[in-house]
Amino acid sequence: PMANRATKEIYPPGSTFKLITSAAALEGDLTPDSIIDASSYQLPGSTRVISGYCGGSQITLAQALKVSCNPGFARLGVSLGQDALRTQAEKFGFGTSFLSDIGGAASKFPDELDDAQTAMSAIGEFEVAATPLQMAMVAAAVQNGGVVMEPYLVESVQTHDMRVISQARPRQHGTAVSESVADSLHDMMVSVVENGTGRRAQISGLTIGGKTG
């Protein structure tokens, strides 16, 4: 019960990683309305087939995220290539340790992948591993116009008479995606909650965006 799972442990992010795959696609030539192949996908050089009904064999990228389409994102990951996925993950903070004063671990995207491993990594499997903090930072960056912020634990320290003796100042870690891409991801994440796999996250009166995984 005392394990620091939020910042010190890394886990397979699963389908939450599709946000990063989507970001890489949108930073390239795709838009939320771009059509991707969502039919069953046999991994290159493997007998394993990734399948699942995604609303059709040809669907938009937005629809693929909304229903968390494994074959569509696996195929898309191979099309984008491992370097694009790794670079996008690192822009969101993968490979960097945060909150090191309490034992922050760096999230990781594996190196030297073949196409089958790239496909699995694109859907957050194989050897992709992230802290819960890291995936929260991905979502926060989308809401923040694509800018990733450095996390901190203590906002301020005050004396008994409320005099501030230290104050945390927000610092940018970097820019993960353009503002226009962040806007597109924002709308896609809202659709996940309003009409897709994330319906259980709905809160009456609020606009909620998210991604199941």
Active site residue ranges: 15
> What are the helix (H) ranges across 10-111?
18-27, 61-66, 70-80, 82-92
| Sign of the torsion formed by the C-alpha atoms of 144, 148, 154 and 155 | negative
Query: Do the beta carbons of residue 185 and residue 210 sit within 8 Å?
Result: no
Which uninterrupted H or E stretch holds 179?
helix 179-195
Strands 35-37 and 58-60: antiparallel
Is the CB of residue 93 less than 8 Å from the CB of residue 65?
no
Structure tokens at 104: 């922050």
Q: What is the distance between the alpha carbons of residues 178 and 23, in angstroms, rounded to a whole number? A: 9
Give the pairing of strands 172-175 and 147-149: antiparallel
Query: How far is 35 from 117, CA to CA, in rounded Å?
Result: 23
